[in-house]
Amino acid sequence: MSSKRILLIIGGGIAAYKSLELIRMLAKRGISSRCILTAGGANFVTPLSVSALSGDKCYSNLFSLDDEAEMGHIELSRSADLLVICPATADLLAKAANGHANDLASTTLLATDKPVLMVPAMNVRMWEHAATKRNVETLRGDGVDVMEPGTGAMACGEFGPGRLPEVEAIADEIESALARQSGPKPLEGRHVLLTAGPTREPLDPVRYLSNHSSGRQGYAIAGALAELGAQVTLVSGPVSIASPRGVDLVSVETAREMMAACEAALPADVFVSVAAVADWRPSSPADRKLKLKDEGKGPPALSLSENPDILSTISRLEKGRPQLVVGFAAETDTVEENALRKRARKGCDWIVANDVSGDVMGGADNEIALVTDAGVENWPRMGKTAVARRLAERIAEDLNGKGKPRIAAE
C-alpha cells in the first residue's frame, strides 16, 4: 500500500473532524491523502490542520487562478487511486447522484475516472428520507461504493442509523478498495472455508451458554482472504458486525449447526477454524424458561453433552481433507505450550495462538504466536486487520509452494 494515494473530499458535517483521524491512520498504513475541503467542511476543520496532517496542499476553490490554470479539478480527479468522500453529507450524495457540478468537490466527482467510496454521515431522518434512499440506490447502480452508516446517539440528540462508521472500519474499507485494484490475486480459484464468532448453546428459550468472542478477528481474516482472490465461505456464530465484502456468509448458532454448515461447504483448499466453539452443550434444553430460584429448592442440575470437535474432524478427514488446516487457540496462560499440544491433538497444520486474558476478545488488537512444524513465530501486537492480512499472505504462500515445506502434525 506504500505507493497508494486517495483523494479525500471532506464534507460539511460534525463528523468532519474524524477525517483528520482518518488521514493519520491511513498514513500509518502507508496510504497518502490529498484533500479537498468543502465550504461546509471548513466550518468544522481548518485547511491548515488538513494540510499539516496530509503533508499536501488542501484544495477548496473551484475557481482558483493558480490551480485552474492547469485544469485543477481534472488533475485532482485523476491524481489518486481512489476518491473517498468522508463525511458524505446528504447534499454531497444528492449532487453526486444527480450530476451537479457547482463547486470543486462535485466537479471533481463528475470528472473522475477512478473508483469512488462514499462514507455517509447525517441525521437519522435525513438518512431514512426517501430522497436520500433514491440517491444512494442511484449511486450504487452507477458503481459507487456507499458504506452503511453506523447506528447510535448523534450530536443532534437523536438515535439511529446515520453516524459516521468507526474510523478503523473506514480505513479497512479503503484498504480493501485499493486491494481490489491490484494485479493478479494469489488465491484466485481457491476455496477457503472459515469459521468465526462464538456459538450459543441453549439452556432454555431465553438463556444460553456462550463466550465473549466478537468475531472481529475471524471476519478480518475472511475479508483479507477475499481480497487475495479466494472464494470464502464464512460460517459464523452470532455477532454484531457486518460481513466482509465478497464473502459468502452462513449464519449459525450452535456448534452442531456450525459442524453441519462446514460439512456442507466442503470441499475446500483451506480450512481456518477461528470460531470460539462451545465444547459442551446442555443435554436437554428446557422448552420453557427455567425457574432458578424456586422456594425451597437449590439450583437446577445441569447435565452437559460434548459438542462435535469441528477442527479435529476436518483435520482428520480421510477423503477431501483441505490442503491446509489452520486452528486457533485462545489461551490465558502458557500460550505456546498449550498451542503446541493442541496442534498435535487436533491434527491440524498450523495453530494461531493468542493470550485472551486481557482485552483481545472484543478488542481491536491482537498478539499471536503462529505454530507450524517449523516451530513458533511470535508476531508483535498489531491491529486485527494487520494480523489478518499477514496470515492471509502466509496462507497464499503456502498454497502456492512459496512457503517452507510442511509436515502435518501427527
Contact 311, 323 (CB under 8 A): no
CA 252 to chain centre: 19
**Binding-site annotation, residues:** 279, 289, 308-311, 328, 342, 346
Catalytic one of 35, 58, 156, 348: 156
Q: Classify strands 350-355 and 324-331 as parallel, antiparallel or unpaired.
A: parallel
Contact 46, 58 (CB under 8 A): no
Taking alpha carbons only, the member of 10, 14, 12 closest to residue 156 is: 14
Q: Classify strands 201-202 and 208-209 as parallel, antiparallel or unpaired.
A: antiparallel
Query: What angle (nearest 5°) sits at the alpha carbon of residue 373, between those of residues 372 and 378?
Result: 35
Q: Is residue 156 flagged as an active site residue?
A: yes
Question: What phi and psi, each to the nearest 5 degrees, are found at residue 153?
Answer: -70, 145
Question: What phi and psi, each to the nearest 5 degrees, are found at residue 335?
Answer: -60, -55
CB atoms within 10 A of CB 157: 6
| Cell reading at 128 | 431514512
Q: How far apart are CA 12 and CA 250, in angstroms?
A: 39
Rg (CA), the chain: 24
Q: How far apart are CA 98 and CA 22, in angstroms?
A: 27
Question: What phi and psi, each to the nearest 5 degrees, are found at residue 336?
Answer: -65, -45
**Binding-site annotation, residues for CTP:** 279, 289, 308-311, 328, 342, 346
Q: How far is CA 129 from CA 40, 94, 282, in A?
A: 21, 12, 46
End-to-end CA distance of the chain: 39
Q: How far apart are CA 400 and CA 31, in angstroms?
A: 28
Helix (H) or strand (E) holding 271: strand 270-273
Q: How far apart are CA 325 and CA 319, in angstroms?
A: 14
Helix (H) or strand (E) holding 315: helix 310-315
Catalytic residues: 156
